[in-house]
Structure 1
Amino acid sequence: MKNIEKKPSVFHPKTTATSMKTQFSKPKLLVLVVLYKKMISESPTISTLLLQHRDLFEVELVIWDNSPEKCPEAQIHELEKEFGQFQYRWTAENTWLSKLYNQVLAAHTYDYALLLDQDTEIPSYYFDKLSEALFKSPKVALFLPLVLHKEKVVSPGSWVYFKGKHWKKIKTGVIPAKNVLAITSGMVISAKVFCTHQMKFDERLSLYGIDTGFMLNFSKFEKQLCVLPIKFDHDTVLWSNPSADVMLGRFRNLKSTWPKILSDRPVARMLVYFYSMAVSFKLALKYQDARFLK
């Protein structure tokens, strides 16, 4: 089994798979699943990925495991048998998402890359709808599923002045990319984004804000994206009701990302400063915890 090679700092895929294929070939789909403190056998993402119509694509699966302990070899070998092209990478130091995204995307040949977390239940028809959308909109460079939390659409959303806002009405199909936000899990990105536009995920960001920074940057290069008629159920700490200790760590991480994401937007940076103060007071009152004010 091969390890993912380290590449030079210049960021681009080796080449797109399309450049080496005939017009009748299947598109090459690189699927990246990130694990953390969860084994392969415990991941809903991997179990539902195995149910997809993978024959629609030439699929290469990369598992990046950020867990303290390596996944059992038997589980790795079982998954290796399912995929003709497969790599497992374990980094116990918990590599930042932005860095591992960049490393994997720069080290492989593909037409499109699908990014997934470990807890996404992928609908059985996802690859079918994706294949259909890629055929209908070959010039579109980004495809997004609808992500729901308790029946509320949390991705995609809209960028309004300095923060995200949930959609009140579902939109699907090809839409303008300007001021659209989305979470990374489930998104499918054309190799053109990294090869032609030389885009990268912002490595100043470790967790939160990676997707926001990517989407704002994407709209500088591409005018359109496609929202797939596919619904993913998703849960995250920021949308649930965690303990004060858990919420404090996540909120501090989120707050530290705003000046970086908005480094080229001085007015928005000023507005988000006052907004973060207001949220700090709100959380301090909710949890009766003065640490949120520090």
Structure 2
Amino acid sequence: MKATMNRGESLKPKLIVLVVLYKKTISASPTISHLLLQNKTLFDLELVVWDNSPEPCPEQEVAELSAAFDQFQYISTPENVWLSKLYNQVLRSNTYDYALLLDQDSEFPEYYFDKLNAAVLGFPKISLFLPIVMNNRKVVSPGSFVYFKGKHWKKIQTGAIPAKNVLAITSGMVISVKVFLAHQMKFDERLNLYGIDTSFMLRYSKFEEQLYVLRIKFDHDTVLWSNPSADVMLSRFRNLKGTWPKILSDRPVALVLAYFYSKVVSLKLALKYQDLRFLK
């Protein structure tokens, strides 16, 4: 990887946008629909669609999307590559100044790129830009890291803020290439789904003092904030529980607290779903 704006020239920032699909076509992705509405002239823009679906998207849809972007990549991996690994592969193998990570189901306003462009140009020393992510009218990202887990913000903070103890989901993150070049950072490839964002944010705050929260709201949905079936919740909860020993390995007190917290949550879920599997 390398940056493009390092030659003293007046250039547009190079923004690489990574959208990850899973069992959803290009035409069915709200994220891609909203990307097409953005002012693409504000950045030297490249779109990468990484498709983890068992079957690739129809060739016609790929061709139509390619025609809408000067720089475009479509990568199909039916083996369903872990998010942490595909993030690292894209970030490692491309040239850019900023990278925007997106899932397939985000909705955001048409002026998002306008606000993002103003922020990255106005705050060149800041290396992480985050939207305000909403789920059912609740702010779910950013949030605070308290002892060993995340906590929702009661009051929204925007602009440049201290990075310490701030958590955020990866979808919507805009990361400067400087983070990876200066600090040799990468996403933790021991994690395949949950915990990837928490691990990244905790490590980011060790190297960088500030981040920037955009005055932009994303609408986003995920399983843990909905009411899934017992089988789905059990799988996701076990995945989440398994991340804590990895994320908190250098925080022994937090790891102990997380262990006892997981026991409490296991009991609550067993009672909610009337399913003893949550206790195992």
TM-based fold match above 0.5 = yes
Matched residue type, 1:27: P
Superposed, which structure 2 residues align to 1:184-199 within 5 Å?
184-199=170-185
- In structure 2, C-alpha distance between the alignment counterparts of 1:205 and 1:62, rounded to whole Å: 22
Matched, 1:280 2:266: yes
Q: CA deviation digits over 1:75-98, x for unaligned, max 9? A: 111111111111000000100000
Indicate yes or no: 2:22 matched with 1:19.
no
Gaps spanning 5+ residues in structure 2: where? Answer: none
Aligned length: 280
Moved over 2 A (4+): none
Gaps of 5+ in 1: 1-12
Shift of 1:123: 1.2
The one-letter code of the counterpart of 1:255 is K
Equivalence map 1:25-44=2 (5 Å)? 25-44=11-30
**Distance (Å, rounded) in 2 between the aligned partners of 1:280 and 1:21:** 56
1: CA distance, partners of 2:276 / 2:173? 38
CA distance in 2, matches of 1:64, 1:125: 24
What amino acid is aligned across from residue 116 of structure 1 in structure 2?
L
d(CA) in 1 for partners of 2:114, 2:128:
16
Counterpart-to-counterpart distance in 1, 2:272 and 2:279: 12
Deviation of 1:136 (Å): 1.4
How far apart, in 1, do the equivalents of 2:243 and 2:201 lie? 14
- 1:87-128 C-alpha deviation (Å, 9 max, x unpaired): 000000100000000000000000000000000012111000
Residue type of the alignment partner of 2:101:
L
Q: CA RMSD in A?
A: 0.7
Give the residue type in structure 2 aligned to 1:19.
N
TM-score (norm 2): 0.99
Q: What is the rounded CA distance, in whole Å, between the counterparts of 1:215 and 1:174 in structure 2?
A: 15
C-alpha displacement at 1:71, in angstroms?
A: 0.5
Question: For 1:220-239, what aligned pairs fall within 5 Å after superposition?
Answer: 220-239=206-225
Normalised TM-score (structure 1): 0.94
Q: Secondary structure at the match of 1:196?
A: helix
Q: Pairwise mapping of residues 27-176 of structure 1 onto structure 2 (< 5 A)?
A: 27-176=13-162
Deviation at 1:135, TM superposition (A): 1.6
Q: Report the CA distance between 1:195 and its aligned residue.
A: 0.9
**Structure 1 residue 293 displacement after superposition:** 0.4
Provide the rounded CA distance (Å) in 1 between the counterparts of 2:89 and 2:246: 21
Distance 2:226 2:64 in 1: 34
SS of the residue 1:225 aligns to: strand
